[in-house]
Amino acid sequence: MTRPAPAETPPWFGRTAGLIGLLGVAWVLALTAIGGAAYPGYDHIAQYISELGARGAPHAAIVNLAGFLPAGVLTCTFAVLAWRALPRSTSATLGFLGVFLFAIGYVGAGFFPCDAGCRPDEPSLTHLLHTGIGLAGYMLAPLTLLLLGQAARHWPAAGTLRLLGLAGAPVALVGLLALSPDLPFVGLAQRALESSVLVWVAACAWYLRRS
C-alpha cells in the first residue's frame, strides 16, 4: 500500500535531499580516488576500500575522519530526507532503511578502522566492529535495491529508478558473494556492490533535484 508524502513537505525539501545525496556519492568517489592515489602501491582491483583507512595505512586518520565519516553522515541524511520527501510505502520505508544501514558502514569505518591489511589472523575488537557494522549494510544491499525498485513503481516518472533498483540487485548479490579476502579481485567485487547502491542513490538524488 502506498500513500503520498505528507502535504506539509515543502518543495525545497526534496531538492535539499537530492543535493545531500549527490554530495554523499561524490564524497565516496573522492575519498576512494584521492585516498588510493595517496597510498603507494594501492590496487583498486585487489584491495578493500577500507584498507585506505586501516591501521598503519598512509593518511589513515584523514581518510577515516575526513573521508568515510562525512560520506556516511551525508548518505544517512539523504536516506532519511528522501524517505520523508517521497511517497510512502512499506517497500520505500524498508528500502531507505537499507540505504541508511549501508551508509552506517561508512560511519563505522570512520570510527573503527580495520586492522592493517584488513585480513588479520587475530582480529582486534575494533576490526570486528568495523566488519560487523559494514557487513550488515552489504548483506542487505540486494534486497534494499529490490525494495527501492518496487517502491519507485509508485513514484511519478520514476521508471529509471525502478530499472536501476531491479538491475542493481543482482550486481550487488554477485559482489557480495565475491567478497572473500582470498580472491584476487575482491576490491573489484566490493566496488561492484557499492556502485550498485551508490548509482541508485545518485539517480534518486537527481530525481529529487528535478522534482
Secondary structure of 8-36 in HEC code, one letter for each residue: CCCHHHHHHHHHHHHHHHHHHHHHHHHHH
Q: How far apart are CA 27 and CA 74, in angstroms?
A: 9
> Which domain, by its residues, includes 43?
9-210
Say which residue the cell 541508485 belongs to. Answer: 200
Q: At a CB cut-off of 8 Å and minimum separation 6, what does 126 contact?
A: 55, 112, 113, 114, 115
Structural domain includes residue 128 = yes
Structural domain includes residue 100 = yes
Phi, psi of 45 (to 5 degrees): -75, -40
Q: Give the per-residue pLDDT at 126.
A: 96
Q: Give the per-residue pLDDT at 6.
A: 47
Q: How far apart are CA 123 and CA 120, in angstroms?
A: 5
Structural domain includes residue 4 = no
At 152, which amino acid appears?
Answer: A
Structural domain includes residue 1 = no
Across the chain, which distance is largest between two alpha carbons, in Å?
A: 54
Structural domain includes residue 169 = yes
Structural domain includes residue 2 = no
pLDDT < 50 positions in the chain: 1, 6-7
**Domains identified in the chain, total number:** 1
Q: At a CB cut-off of 8 Å and minimum separation 6, what does 39 contact?
A: 51, 52, 57, 58, 59
pTM: 0.93
Strand partners, 88: 3
**Closest among 149, 54, 63, 53 to 99, alpha carbons compared:** 149
Q: Give the per-residue pLDDT at 11.
A: 72
Structural domain includes residue 34 = yes
The continuous run of DSSP H or E covering 146 comes out as helix 125-152
Grid cell, residue 123, equals 582480529
Structural domain includes residue 13 = yes
Q: How far apart are CA 9 and CA 47, in angstroms?
A: 43
Q: Give the per-residue pLDDT at 12.
A: 81
Q: Give the per-residue pLDDT at 8.
A: 58
